[in-house]
Amino acid sequence: MEDYIVIEKLTKQYGDVTAVKGLDLSVRAGEIFGFLGPNGAGKTTTIRMMTTLTKPTSGSVRIGGLDTVRDAEGMKSLIGVVQQHNSLDRDLTVRENMVFHARLRHIGRPERDKRIDELIGYVGLEDHVDKMVDSLSGGMKKRAAVVCALIHRPKVLFLDEPTVGLDAQSRRRLWDLVRRLNLDGTTVFLTTHYIEEAEALCHRVGIMDHGRLIALGTPMELRQKLGMATVELLGENKETNYHYFADRAGATSYVQELSDEEKTIIIRDSNLEDVFVELTGQKVGDA
Ligand SMILES: Nc1ncnc2c1ncn2[C@@H]1O[C@H](COP(=O)(O)OP(=O)(O)OP(=O)(O)O)[C@@H](O)[C@H]1O
Ligand SMILES: [Mg+2]
């Protein structure tokens, strides 16, 4: 698959704060790519630069061969964005919001009505389309925002923290929607600080911390780099110490060598959280 998104040496400076530091990254057409990172890592800033909402201090982003600064107008037709905070107009109904977005995209009436009906069915909002946005649940609002972002059939959908504040059911429903969109040909670029979301949804994950990309790969590759098996040992002061091994056999033979005092032991599969903690020295969301 071709690289559809190409980011080179992307940097954003806000006064003394360098929110994004020399980011190099390519995303292929058809991927679901996820940025994982704690608060303040620079995820939103990166997405804002990728979607023309803010200009890079230096470096570049190209999407489908178009530069996000030089070709901003043309590029906008390739992308749809669901921002971190609710971007719907709360004083309008769901349909009115969609009509507004369709107008912004210069989509004429017959095409617009057809597209809205199609998308409403796609995301399962048939019973809510004429309700005020404010009366919808968080999950419904997100799905409505996704519809607005998709109205012009973008090639890439950007989702910034799509499931923050959603209950487990709504979250899974949104995951299903993202997977379905992707199967139907949309490249997806999302951010999250939920490790299980990155693991469940993303073909590849980039871990971001303090404005830098500190790891990149499939969830499986990242786990393999660390070691597929984890041993947890409870230390004298009840602190947990983690040890990583290529496989269960390695973990088991390590445990067998331990003295009797070191008895509280868990052997389990390593996960992305282990990768994150080892790389950053903190739990996701701790920052
Ligand atoms: N408009 C701005 N003006 C000044 N500083 C900013 C601005 N936007 C972001 N920052 C700073 O840049 C850094 C990265 O912020 P950003 O919002 O990109 O992080 P994030 O990874 O999206 O975090 P979160 O998980 O909280 O959404 C932070 O230190 C933040 O305070
Ligand atoms: Mg953010």
Mean pLDDT by 10 residues, the chain (287 residues): 92 97 97 93 96 97 96 93 88 94 90 91 91 91 91 95 88 91 95 90 95 94 94 86 94 86 80 88 52
With a 6 Å cutoff on the Cβ, whether 37 touches ligand 1 is yes
Query: Which phi and psi angles does 98 have, rounded to 5°?
Result: -65, -40
List the structure tokens of 184: 């139907």
Distance from the alpha carbon of residue 208 to the mean position of ligand 2, in angstroms? 11
Closest ligand to 17 CA?
Answer: 1
pTM assigned to the model: 0.91
User: Closest ligand 1 atom, CA of 44?
Assistant: 22
The pLDDT value recorded for residue 238 is: 81
Query: Which phi and psi angles does 2 have, rounded to 5°?
Result: -70, 155
What residue spans define the domains of the chain? 3-218, 228-269
Level-2 CATH architecture, domain 3-218: 3-Layer(aba) Sandwich (3.40)
Which residues keep their CB under 5 angstroms from ion ligand 2?
A: 43-44, 84
The angle formed by the CA atoms of residues 118, 2 and 273, to the nearest 5 degrees, is 80
The pLDDT value recorded for residue 257 is: 86
Burial class (CB in 10 A: 0-12, 13-18, 19+), 145: buried
Answer yes or no: are the C-beta atoms of 178 and 162 closer than 8 Å.
Answer: yes
The pLDDT value recorded for residue 256 is: 87
The angle formed by the CA atoms of residues 236, 242 and 246, to the nearest 5 degrees, is 145
